[in-house]
């Protein structure tokens, strides 16, 4: 498909570029949609099942960043579908866009996916830092004992709950989705950049 180790760069035809756009567009769309399911689930459940005390205050910065990351991820999934539509246009000489338009679309996809990774890493740094602080606050060598009773309540922040691990998994999925989109955009940018015929 794309050979980075070849000393002489080839000149791919618009049909070859269209095949790559279609193949990588579908790959990015499917993988990002699969990886985006857990972040979507975490954000929706966080918004819908907030406690009364949490509902009184405004959303936290982390939740706003997660919503922004999710919106950009949806845009990136749509943009992968746009690569497929762009492939259809490239195959028709009458509908074929100029090279600078194709490069502009690919660069926009690259920026969107870099934004996903940046925001997800910021959220991960904040969340993991908070959980690390919770663990460091516990006395060294202490053991937390939870009685098996419904009336026993634990103090907030004493333990790392399963929901914390699901949130971390969601952040890792968002980073992976952004990475896939970035790789797709970079591979396509490389191939379109090798095209030298000004008439196509």
Ordered DSSP codes for 145-198: ---S-SS--PPTTSS--HHHHHHHHHHHHHHHHHHHHHHHHHHHHHHHHH---T
Which candidate, 35, 27, 28, 24, places its Cα nearest to that of 69? Answer: 35
Cβ–Cβ under 8 Å, residues 32 and 77: yes
Question: What integer pLDDT is reported at residue 7 of this predicted model?
Answer: 46
Question: What integer pLDDT is reported at residue 133 of this predicted model?
Answer: 84
Check pLDDT > 90 for residue 11: no
- How confident is the model over 111-166, as pLDDT tens digits? 999 999 999 999 999 988 888 887 787 777 665 555 555 544 444 445 677 777 88
Task: Quote the pTM value.
Answer: 0.79
Q: Where are the domains of the chain?
A: 14-137+159-194
- How confident is the model over 39-61, as pLDDT tens digits? 999 888 888 886 554 544 445 88
Q: At what angle do helices 162-194 and 37-48 cross, to 10 degrees?
A: 140
Q: Which residues, 6+ apart, have CB-to-CB distance to 15 below 8 Å?
A: 90, 91
Higher pLDDT, 13 or 30: 30
Question: What integer pLDDT is reported at residue 156 of this predicted model?
Answer: 46
């Amino acid at each position: 498909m794309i050979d980075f180790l070849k000393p002489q760069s080839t000149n791919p035809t618009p049909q070859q570029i269209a095949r790559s756009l279609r193949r990588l567009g579908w790959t990015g769309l499917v993988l990002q949609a699969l990886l985006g399911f857990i972040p979507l689930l975490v954000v929706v459940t966080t918004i819908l099942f907030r406690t009364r005390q949490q509902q009184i205050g405004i959303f936290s910065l982390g939740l706003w960043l997660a919503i922004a990351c999710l919106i950009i991820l949806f845009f990136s999934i749509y943009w992968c579908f746009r690569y497929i539509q762009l492939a259809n246009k490239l195959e028709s000489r009458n509908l074929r866009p100029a090279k600078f338009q194709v490069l502009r679309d690919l660069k926009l996809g690259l920026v969107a996916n870099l934004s996903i990774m940046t925001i997800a890493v910021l959220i991960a740094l904040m969340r993991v830092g908070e959980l690390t602080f919770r663990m460091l606050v516990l006395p060294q060598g202490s053991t937390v004992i939870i009685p098996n009773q419904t009336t026993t309540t634990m103090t907030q922040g004493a333990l790392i709950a399963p929901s914390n691990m699901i949130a971390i998994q969601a952040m890792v999925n968002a980073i992976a989705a952004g990475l896939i989109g970035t790789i797709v955009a970079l591979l396509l940018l490389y191939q379109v950049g090798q095209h030298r015929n000004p008439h196509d």
